[in-house]
């Protein structure tokens, strides 16, 4: 068995990564990234920056993308659980406007690779979650683009729980719909 299991999704280039976890009574060990293994799995990126956020239950961050300096992302959760989404915004793509959603948690240890040209966002399902991700280009604050999380054209099936209030940043409350891009 390899160090990673690379699971292709219905959208070309979007990949779920399952690491091999070695555990015993002391705890566990796993590699979270190894360039040559990822290259074999179809992910050819040079990551230049790592980011981390912590959010409480119901926080929805997204859907964010970049216009002139798009970023590929490798995301994972180190504490808690989120529902993570990638929306295809690549012009001319046969899956333009489609999305892939996956649950990421500290329990399942899955990672999610999102190539350049996608909007990305996540909803926190646990009481809180710590989210970490690698990007292949630096952040350019004037290059941000966003998309409405509840766009009916995309129709993301967010797993909003009965007792959950969706919490958005002020900026994300006003994101445009896909037809307005």
Q: What pLDDT digit, counting tens, does each position of 44-95 carry?
A: 999 999 999 999 999 999 999 999 999 999 999 999 999 999 999 999 999 9
SS3 labels along 32-73: CCCHHHHHHCCCCCCCCEEEEEEEECCEEEEEEEECCCCCCE
Cα–Cα distance between 70 and 153 in angstroms, integer?
23
pLDDT score recorded for residue 109: 98
pLDDT score recorded for residue 1: 53
Task: Write out the catalytic residue numbers.
Answer: 64, 133
For residue 53, which phi and psi values (nearest 5 degrees)? -135, 160
First-to-last alpha carbon distance for the chain, in angstroms, is 44
Tell me which residue of 86, 89, 107 sits closest to 16, measured CA to CA: 86
CATH fold of the domain at 46-180: Jelly Rolls (2.60.120)
Q: What are the structural domain ranges in the chain?
A: 46-180
pLDDT score recorded for residue 172: 96
Residue 32 predicted with pLDDT over 60? yes
Report pTM.
Answer: 0.95
Segment 95-107 shows an average pLDDT of 98
* Distances, alpha carbon 88 to alpha carbons 83, 92, 101, 171, in Å: 17, 10, 12, 21
Residue 21 predicted with pLDDT over 80? yes
Q: Quick count: other Cβ atoms within 10 Å of Cβ 91? A: 6
Segment 140-166 shows an average pLDDT of 95
């Amino acid at each position: 068995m390899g160090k990673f299991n690379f699971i292709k999704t219905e959208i070309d280039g979007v990949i779920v990564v399952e690491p091999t976890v070695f555990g015993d009574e002391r705890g566990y060990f796993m590699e979270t990234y190894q360039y040559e293994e990822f290259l074999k799995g179809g992910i050819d990126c040079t990551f230049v920056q790592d980011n981390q956020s912590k959010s409480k239950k119901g926080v929805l961050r997204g859907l964010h993308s970049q216009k002139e300096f798009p970023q590929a992302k490798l995301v994972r959760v180190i504490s808690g659980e989120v529902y993570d989404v990638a929306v295809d915004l690549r012009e001319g793509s046969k899956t333009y406007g489609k999305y892939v959603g996956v649950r990421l948690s500290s329990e399942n240890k899955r990672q999610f690779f999102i190539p350049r040209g996608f909007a990305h966002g996540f909803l926190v399902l646990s009481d809180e979650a710590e989210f970490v991700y690698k990007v292949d280009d630096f952040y350019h604050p004037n290059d941000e683009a966003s998309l409405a999380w509840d766009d009916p054209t995309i129709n993301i099936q967010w797993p909003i729980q009965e007792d959950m209030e969706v919490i958005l940043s002020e900026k994300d409350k006003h994101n445009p719909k896909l037809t307005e891009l």
